[in-house]
Amino acid sequence: MPTQKFFNEDMGVPMRMVPDYTTLSCKFQFGVAPTAEDEAEARSVPCFAACPASGELRATLTQCHTMGPMAGEVGR
């Protein structure tokens, strides 16, 4: 998980991501290191095929349902 790796390895901040496979969102648990079981579980779920970060859904999404448009995306 790139974001989890960034916080744990690059920033030196223990952080575990808890995915919600229904909404394709994650909650961050700071101060908690991820386990090998967390990684194995995340990689075994087929939601990565529909992950907006893969670009497949990005073309159909205009903005996050919980946030406004990102900078530079006005009028999209």
DSSP secondary-structure letter at 69?
A: P
The structure's pTM equals: 0.55
Give the residue extent of every domain in the chain: 2-54
d(CA 8, CA 16) in angstroms, rounded, equals 9
Q: pLDDT value at position 42?
A: 78
pLDDT in tens, 15-51: 999 988 788 788 999 999 999 888 888 777 766 555 5
- Cβ atoms of 17 and 4 within 8 Å: the answer is yes
